[in-house]
C-alpha cells in the first residue's frame, strides 16, 4: 500500500474529515477561477466611476448656468469684486470708485448709468436691486412730484415751513418731517434722548447710528438744544462701577478706571477727567454736563 494512503489511515477520523473538506474547498475555488467571467464586474466598476465623474460635471455646469442670487444693495458701495459679480467692466467700476473718492454719491439708477457708463441691458438687470437711504428716496420722490406738476402746468402746495424746535421737546412726528428721517431713525433719536435724559449739544447727533451727514445737517437746521432740565446726572464720586456702567458714555473698563482713580486720589474734579485711563477726552465738555462732582 502506498505510503500516502498508509499515512492517511494513520490520521484520526476528525483529521481525515478536515483534510477532505480542505480538498473540496480548493477544488471549488479552482472551478470558480476558471469558469466565472470577472471582466463584467471590472467593466461595471469602471462604468460606475465614469458615471460619478459625469454627474459631477453636470452639477458644475448647472451651478455655472444658475442665475446668481442677489440681494438689495447700495450701489455707492460696490467693490471691485461686487462689480465683477454684477457683470460690470473694469473701467465702469473704476469710474464709480473715482466718483466716490470725490465724496460724491449716486442717488438714482439713471445717475448710476451716467457715472459708470453701464449698458441699458445691464442697468435693467441690476437696477431693481438698488437700495438707497430713506432721505434719498424722499428727495427723489419730491423732485418727481415737482416735475410732474410742471409738466401738467399745475401748481402744487408749498412745502410746510418748519420752525426751529427744541430737540429735547420734539415729537416723533416732528422728526419725521425732516428729509432722511423715517420711522426707525426717529425711534433711535428718541431712545437715545430718553437714555440720557436729554441732549446737551447738537453734536450728539453724530453719535446716533444710521444718521448720514446730510440728515445731521438737516437736523441742525431745524432743531436746537433749548432745555436740559431732565438730564439724568451721575455723581462720579459716589456711583458704583455698576451705576457708572449704565451711563451711555461709560462702559465697564472706564467705570472700573474711574473707581480705581477715585480710591487712589480722592474725590474727582472736572479737571481730573482727562487723567483717567480710557476716558473719552474728546467728549469731556459734553460728558461733564451729565456729571455731579
Q: How far apart are CA 28 and CA 35, in angstroms?
A: 11
Alpha helices (runs of H) in the chain, residue ranges in sequence order: 3-10, 13-35, 39-65, 80-86, 90-101, 109-116, 120-126, 134-151, 172-175, 183-196, 213-222, 241-246, 252-265, 284-288
Q: What is the pLDDT of residue 12?
A: 73
Q: Dump pLDDT digits (tens) for 86-110.
A: 888 999 989 998 888 888 888 888 9
- 292: which DSSP letter? E
Measuring CA to CA, how many Å separate 244 from each of 239, 240, 265, 273, 292?
6, 6, 18, 14, 12
Cell numbers representing residue 66 in the block: 444658475
Fold of 234-292: DNA polymerase; domain 1 (1.10.150)
Q: What is the pLDDT of residue 176?
A: 92
Q: How far apart are CA 276 and CA 96, in angstroms?
A: 45
SS3 277: coil
Q: Dump pLDDT digits (tens) for 158-187.
A: 445 557 889 999 999 999 999 889 999 999
Confidence check: pLDDT of 151 > 80 = no
Q: How far apart are CA 148 and CA 146, in angstroms?
A: 5
Q: Dump pLDDT digits (tens) for 261-274.
A: 999 999 999 999 99
Confidence check: pLDDT of 77 > 90 = no
Confidence check: pLDDT of 67 > 90 = no
In the chain, the percentage of residues whose pLDDT exceeds 90 is: 32
Amino acid at each position: 500500500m502506498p505510503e500516502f494512503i498508509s499515512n492517511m489511515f494513520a490520521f484520526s477520523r476528525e483529521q481525515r474529515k478536515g483534510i477532505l473538506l480542505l480538498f473540496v474547498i480548493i477544488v471549488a475555488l479552482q472551478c470558480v477561477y476558471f469558469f466565472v467571467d470577472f471582466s463584467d464586474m471590472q467593466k461595471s466598476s469602471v462604468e460606475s466611476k465614469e458615471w460619478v465623474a459625469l454627474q459631477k460635471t453636470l452639477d458644475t455646469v448647472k451651478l455655472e448656468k444658475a442665475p446668481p442670487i442677489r440681494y438689495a444693495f447700495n450701489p455707492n458701495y460696490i467693490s471691485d469684486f461686487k462689480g465683477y459679480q454684477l457683470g460690470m467692466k473694469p473701467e465702469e467700476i473704476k469710474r464709480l470708485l473715482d466718483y466716490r473718492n470725490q465724496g460724491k454719491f449716486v442717488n438714482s439708477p439713471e445717475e448710476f448709468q451716467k457715472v459708470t457708463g453701464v449698458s441699458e441691458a445691464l442697468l435693467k438687470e441690476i437696477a431693481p436691486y438698488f437700495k438707497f437711504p430713506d432721505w434719498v428716496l424722499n428727495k427723489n420722490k419730491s423732485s418727481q412730484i415737482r416735475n410732474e406738476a410742471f409738466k401738467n402746468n399745475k401748481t402744487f402746495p408749498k412745502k410746510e415751513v418748519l420752525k426751529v424746535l427744541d430737540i429735547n421737546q420734539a415729537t416723533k412726528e416732528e422728526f419725521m418731517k425732516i428729509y432722511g428721517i423715517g420711522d426707525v431713525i426717529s425711534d433711535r433719536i428718541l431712545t437715545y434722548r430718553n437714555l440720557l435724559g436729554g441732549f446737551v449739544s447738537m453734536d450728539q447727533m453724530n453719535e446716533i447710528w444710521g444718521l448720514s451727514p446730510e440728515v445731521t445737517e438737516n437736523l441742525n437746521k431745524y432743531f436746537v438744544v433749548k432745555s436740559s432740565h431732565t438730564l439724568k446726572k451721575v455723581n462720579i464720586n459716589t456711583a458704583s462701577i455698576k451705576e457708572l456702567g449704565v451711563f451711555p458714555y461709560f462702559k465697564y473698563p472706564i467705570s472700573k478706571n474711574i473707581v480705581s482713580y477715585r480710591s487712589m486720589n480722592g474725590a474727582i474734579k472736572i479737571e481730573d477727567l482727562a487723567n483717567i485711563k480710557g476716558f473719552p477726552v474728546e467728549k469731556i465738555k459734553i460728558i461733564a454736563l451729565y456729571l455731579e462732582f
